[in-house]
């Protein structure tokens, strides 16, 4: 199969030969695709004259790719070659190549990837190109917004990141044989856990394992579960529906405490004297709503799917939601797992149980079910389970 290419002769290597870059053309304009390499054109003057438009009647210059023996033929604006390889039949993939690609895609920039990795930018670009050649597919596209993954890259990224996690776990396991002196723990956590359990746990873990790189990021439960599944986090602490409606396949859960979703009502509201409220009672009400990615947003969506409820204010903060309720902006949902859900004295905000079967919740640790946690993660889990013993009794009970 002959593929058009954009390679331009660039270096004379003898009276009858000329070096030229050859390979398949990217129809998107990004240049040469994997499989490109230098070839020798056996009649360079004919190619030069043809490219400069001096004598188009000279015909097609012929050359040979001396690394493969394939015949190549020149065309105006470049040369062509036979692309003999098939995807996936390249040289062995190196973990360094996978790490460079993952970092570039995560940061959206080869330059920023080089800075984070502590290597020269050309090295990152060269290793990504080599990976593309080895796999026989294009993995990144470059544009004004930086680098983006191609469809091929999206397909292999889960396997790529699993390989990098396996390599990291292998190194940690080897290091743990002589004592846990290296490793990392990347934790995603809901804000309720940050209030209820993490201050003591983080302080103790960092004291007992000072050489372990530890990082906590607060996000919503849905986002945390997604990021644990993709490997961005090693584990997470989330809230989830007891009935399993918010659970994600491929993850396993360790429960720490249980709670309920409750309704926050402003002073003087028609439902403020009720201990429990049914979803039908909320028809026509205005509500302060969390952004997508939070369990409380999933709860609101479940209510809004059945009844006409108007979302008037979006937030990521439980404190903001309570203050908007106190000001009469609208009603809001809260969780008894969050310490401030018991603040019934906050400007007269009243809490009522949401009388729905799915409103029961759990605070849980979430991990990937198909992987053995690293030694550092296992050490963190041990401390977490020790320090969270009796957590249920320490959480406020507004009812």
Convert the pLDDT of each residue in 278-306 to its tens digit: 888 999 999 999 999 899 999 999 898 88
Residues found in the chain: 399
Domain co-membership, 356 together with 366: no
Does the structure show a pLDDT above 60 at 154? yes
Helix (H) or strand (E) run with residue 350 in it: strand 350-354
State the pLDDT confidence band at 219, using cuts at 50, 70 and 90.
very high
pLDDT (mean) for 345-363? 83
Alpha carbons 392 and 399: distance in angstroms, whole number: 14
Domain co-membership, 337 together with 376: no
pLDDT (mean) for 120-144? 87
Count of structural domains, the chain: 4
Alpha carbons 382 and 235: distance in angstroms, whole number: 13
Domain co-membership, 100 together with 152: yes
pLDDT number for residue 396: 64
Domain boundary among 145, 173, 201: 173
Highest mean pLDDT, choosing among 8-22, 83-97, 209-223: 209-223
Domain co-membership, 367 together with 353: no
State the pLDDT confidence band at 245, using cuts at 50, 70 and 90.
low
Tell me the β-bridge partners of 38: 21
Cβ atoms of residues 174 and 204 within 8 Å: no
**Closest to 222 (Cα-Cα) out of 214, 211, 233:** 233
The proportion of the chain whose per-residue pLDDT surpasses 90, expressed as a percent, equals 25
Highest mean pLDDT, choosing among 175-184, 231-240, 243-252: 231-240
Assess if residue 387 is contained within a domain: yes
Q: What domain range includes position 139?
A: 95-173
Alpha carbons 218 and 376: distance in angstroms, whole number: 20
- CATH number of domain containing 300: 3.40.190.10
Domain co-membership, 390 together with 246: yes
- Give the burial string for 277-296 (b: 16+ CB within 10 Å, else e): bebebbeebebbbbeebbbb
Domain co-membership, 100 together with 222: no
Tokens of 278: 């049914």
pLDDT (mean) for 95-106? 88
Mean pLDDT of the chain: 76
- CATH number of domain containing 114: 1.10.10.10
Domain co-membership, 276 together with 347: yes
Assess if residue 205 is contained within a domain: yes
Assess if residue 89 is contained within a domain: no
pLDDT number for residue 77: 38
Higher pLDDT, 317 or 28: 317
End-to-end CA distance of the chain: 75
Domain co-membership, 245 together with 390: yes
Assess if residue 399 is contained within a domain: no
pLDDT 10s digits, 19-57: 344 444 344 334 444 444 434 444 444 444 444 444 433
Tokens of 380: 């963190």
Say if residue 325 is exposed, middle or buried (CB neighbours under 10 Å; 0-12, 13-18, 19+).
buried
Does the structure show a pLDDT above 80 at 180? no
Domain co-membership, 191 together with 151: no
pLDDT number for residue 389: 82
Assess if residue 247 is contained within a domain: yes
pLDDT number for residue 235: 96
Domain co-membership, 151 together with 108: yes
pLDDT (mean) for 3-26? 37
Return the minimum-mean-pLDDT range out of 52-61, 147-156, 300-309, 318-327. Answer: 52-61
Q: Which long-range contacts (CB under 8 A, 24 or more apart) does 23-27 make?
A: 23/81, 23/83, 24/83, 25/78, 26/138
pLDDT number for residue 398: 64
Alpha carbons 252 and 364: distance in angstroms, whole number: 9
Domain co-membership, 333 together with 373: no
Number of neighbouring beta carbons within 10 Å of residue 321: 27
Assess if residue 87 is contained within a domain: no
Assess if residue 88 is contained within a domain: no
pLDDT number for residue 289: 94
């Amino acid at each position: 199969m002959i593929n058009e290419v954009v390679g331009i002769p660039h270096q004379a290597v003898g009276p009858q030969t000329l070096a030229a870059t050859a390979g398949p053309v990217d129809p998107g304009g990004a240049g040469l695709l994997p499989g490109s390499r230098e070839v020798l054109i056996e009649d360079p003057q004919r190619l030069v004259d043809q490219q400069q438009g001096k004598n188009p009647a000279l015909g097609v210059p012929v050359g040979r790719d001396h690394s493969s023996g394939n015949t190549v033929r020149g065309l105006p604006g470049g040369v062509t070659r036979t692309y003999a390889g098939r995807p996936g039949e390249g040289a062995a993939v190196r973990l360094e190549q996978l790490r460079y690609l993952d970092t570039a895609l995560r940061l959206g920039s080869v330059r920023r990837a080089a800075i984070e990795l502590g290597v020269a930018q050309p090295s990152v670009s060269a290793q990504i190109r080599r990976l593309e050649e080895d796999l026989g597919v294009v993995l990144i596209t470059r544009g004004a917004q930086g680098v983006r993954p191609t469809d091929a890259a999206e397909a292999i990224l889960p396997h790529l990141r699993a390989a990098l996690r396996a390599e990291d776990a292998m190194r940690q396991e080897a290091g743990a044989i002589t004592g846990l002196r290296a490793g990392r723990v990347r934790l995603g956590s809901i804000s309720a856990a940050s209030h209820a359990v993490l201050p003591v746990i983080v302080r103790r873990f960092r004291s007992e394992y000072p050489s372990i790189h530890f990082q906590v990021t607060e996000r919503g439960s849905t986002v945390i579960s997604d990021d644990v599944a993709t490997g961005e986090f090693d584990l997470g602490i989330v809230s989830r529906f007891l009935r399993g409606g918010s659970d994600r396949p491929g993850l396993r859960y360790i429960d720490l405490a249980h709670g309920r979703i409750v309704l926050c009502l402003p002073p003087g509201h028609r439902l403020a004297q009720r201990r429990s409220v049914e979803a039908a009672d909320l028809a026509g009400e205005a509500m302060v709503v969390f952004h997508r990615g939070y369990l409380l947003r999933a709860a609101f969506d479940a209510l809004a799917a059945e009844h006409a409820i108007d979302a008037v204010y979006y937030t990521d903060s439980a404190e903001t939601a309570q203050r908007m309720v106190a000001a009469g902006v609208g009603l809001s949902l809260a969780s008894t797992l969050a310490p401030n859900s018991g603040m019934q004295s906050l400007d007269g905000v009243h809490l009522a149980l949401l009388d729905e079967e799915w409103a029961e919740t759990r605070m849980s640790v979430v991990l990937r079910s198909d992987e053995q946690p690293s030694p550092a993660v296992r050490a963190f889990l041990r401390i977490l389970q020790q320090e969270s013993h009796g957590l249920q009794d320490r959480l406020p009970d507004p009812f």
